[in-house]
């Protein structure tokens, strides 16, 4: 590792490597960040920061969907080969899952899932489901936190149906929502009965951290 390595510089190099789909270079930089001393940066924050940048710039039309998808996959692969102790401790995690609720747009879910997996969280991917099937899966798997990603407003409004169905089934599940409708209407998550809304993939991590500590999302 060069003496002049710095986290901001390595973050930019990592970003370039991911956008070029250069897994070998990305792994080299990732390893350098793991070994970087006297820095506020870490392998966990590197993944969160860079995937968040890529996702935001995709929304702005700067990057291709293929770059977003493959960047997430590369980060998952890199993190999967880290020693367990390289992660922040994730012991006694609540059971978590993520789903699309009557929505076909999977990019947001893919980004959040990549970041959560890359930072040590175990999250079940339910894919696309309707409310009855989702409630059944949550009950069967003992899910305590369900993350819902949507792009369209009608899908966002189905979260209210999910909350009512969970209540009727006596399932005290935390609902964390995200997606365009919740960014456009900052109060929508309250209207549909969610417990929290994340506007970025990094927000999802912050919210889950809070829930795991027993705090308010």
pLDDT digits (tens, 9 = 90+) for 28-66: 998 888 777 555 456 667 887 888 788 778 778 898 878
Helix (H) or strand (E) holding 197: strand 196-198
| Three-state SS annotation for 93-113 | CCCEEEEEECCCCCHHHHHHH
CA distances from 185 to 163, 189, 195 (A): 19, 8, 15
pLDDT for res 31: 86
Q: What is the pLDDT of residues 143-173, one digit of tens each?
A: 999 999 887 888 999 999 999 999 999 999 9
Tokens of 171: 């399932």
Residue, of 200 and 87, whose pLDDT is higher: 200
CATH class of 7-86: mainly alpha
Helix (H) or strand (E) holding 174: strand 174-179
For the chain, residues classed under CATH 3.40.50.280 are 96-212
Confidence of residue 89 (pLDDT cuts 50, 70, 90): very low
For the chain, residues classed under CATH 1.10.1240.10 are 7-86
Give the span between the Cα atoms of 69 and 67, in whole angstroms: 6
Q: Which residues contact 93 (CB under 8 A, 6 or more apart)?
A: 121, 122, 212
pLDDT for res 73: 81
Tokens of 124: 């079940």
Choose the most confident range, by mean pLDDT, from 108-112, 140-144, 197-201: 140-144
Exposed / middle / buried, residue 89 (Cβ in 10 Å: 0-12, 13-18, 19+): exposed
User: Around 62, how many Cα atoms within 13 Å sit in the side-chain half-sphere?
Assistant: 7
Q: pTM for this one?
A: 0.66
Give the span between the Cα atoms of 156 and 71, in whole angstroms: 27
Is residue 131 within 8 Å of 177, Cβ to Cβ?
Answer: no
| pLDDT over 70 percentage in the chain | 86
∠ CA 93-150-15 to the nearest 5 degrees?
A: 70
Query: Taking the CB of residue 166, how many other CB atoms lie within 10 A of it?
Result: 22
Give the span between the Cα atoms of 124 and 147, in whole angstroms: 10
pLDDT for res 2: 44
Query: Taking the CB of residue 120, how many other CB atoms lie within 10 A of it?
Result: 17
Regarding the domain with residue range 96-212, which homologous superfamily does it belong to in the CATH classification? Answer: Cobalamin-binding domain (3.40.50.280)
């Amino acid at each position: 590792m060069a003496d002049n390595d710095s986290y901001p510089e390595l973050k930019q190099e990592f970003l370039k490597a991911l956008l070029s789909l250069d897994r070998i270079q990305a792994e080299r930089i990732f390893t350098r960040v793991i070994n970087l001393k006297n820095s506020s940066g870490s392998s966990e924050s590197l993944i969160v920061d860079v995937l968040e940048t890529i996702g935001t710039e995709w929304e702005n039309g700067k990057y291709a969907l293929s770059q977003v998808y493959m960047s997430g996959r590369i980060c998952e692969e890199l993190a999967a080969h880290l020693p367990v102790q390289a992660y922040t401790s994730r012991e006694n995690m609540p059971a978590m899952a993520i789903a699309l609720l009557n929505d076909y747009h999977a990019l947001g879910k893919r980004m959040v899932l990549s970041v959560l997996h890359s930072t040590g969280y175990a999250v079940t991917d339910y894919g696309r489901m309707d409310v009855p099937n989702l409630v059944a899966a949550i009950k069967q798997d003992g899910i305590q936190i369900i993350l819902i990603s949507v792009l369209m407003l009608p899908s966002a409004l189905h979260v209210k149906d999910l909350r009512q169905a969970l209540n009727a089934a006596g399932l005290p599940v935390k609902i964390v929502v995200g997606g365009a409708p919740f960014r456009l209407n900052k109060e929508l998550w309250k209207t549909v009965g969610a417990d929290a809304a994340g506007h970025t993939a990094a927000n999802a991590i912050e919210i889950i951290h809070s829930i795991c500590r027993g705090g308010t999302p």
